[in-house]
Chain A
């Protein structure tokens, strides 16, 4: 290996080390200004539970859909079903689980969007 190539490789290694050292030690990533779709599963489930509690009182499914939309592009029923799974796995109260399942049931009753034939 030529001397020039070995110096280049040494420089490359130093450069990578500097880049990673800066990124991981001097200026590590801090999470700010995140969106609700990045919430940890337990917080996410609690968010969905709040939507379900509000829906129980308000009975406004469109408002519930609006609130669930901030949790990402997944279908609302999938979002709520995921929360139910988490709630059951972690022994949420009967009231909490009921609120979630009632919301899921009403979401399931929404007619599917008609398919269009182009």
Chain B
């Protein structure tokens, strides 16, 4: 083919590609339908997880919550849910939603030794394709110890921890009921000269469902208070630990709050 013949051919190819793109992008653009939750944008997936948590808090149906979380492998892990609870707490989202997330993370931690939720072989969300299991009655909520509002927790122990594996010094808060069991979902307030923050216990279930922590800065004095309780710890400052080798590092503090036995 001579050069004069190549021109129309290339022109045709160019016109064909252009026509294809015009058709695909303008005339008949893709309309996304029939997607699964896993394809949702990450913020929508987080909303989905929050809704799963709230629905779980309402029904107490853990198998169904697990089946729903299995649809969201990227964000359905216990760690992610715990982090989401913290983030939403910081964002000022409704406390019911934050507590539902915290409770779900804690329940996952006690139900699953590993932090990743896998698909359940027997239960799935309430879809007809899903599972006959869901046509049965709902299981009752798994009992999780919770703090009685206004419960008279008291500071039982205040301990400088020099062998904390955490990379930064922190406040470790442990909340126990009168039987010595960890209590999740307790809101802990941390106050210092220039600010305050808060967190829930139970978001790191691998460290105990009554455990919560908060990184501390040197040369700052902190006050720690359990919400809905008078229990308070004041004057907490970072302190130096000296290792056997003579090296120094900043230690962590562990505060243990205990609910006294009823008289």
Contacts and interface: CB of A to CB of B under 8 A. Distances in A.
Interface in A73-104: 87, 89-93, 95-96
Contact of B39 (A13, A15, A31): A31
Interface string B14-50: 1111111100100000101111110111101001100
Interface string B57-91: 11100000000100100000000000000000000
A3 B5 contact: yes
Interface string A1-43: 0011101111111111111100100000101111110111111
Contacts of A65: none
A18 B16 CA distance: 9
A99 to B, nearest CB: 9
A14 B6 CA distance: 13
B126 A40 contact: no
A46 interface: yes
Interface of A is mostly: helix
Contacts of A40: 33-36
Nearest to A15: B16
Interface stretch (B109-117, B129-137, B156-164, B184-192): B129-137
Contacts of A18: 13, 16-17
B167 interface: no
A37 to B, nearest CB: 9
A11 B14 CA distance: 8
A46 B125 contact: yes
A31 B40 CA distance: 8
Nearest to A95: B138
A8 to B, nearest CB: 4
Contact of B9 (A11, A34, A90): A11
Contacts of B44: 34-36, 70
A89 to B, nearest CB: 8
B12 A15 contact: yes
A47 B36 CA distance: 11
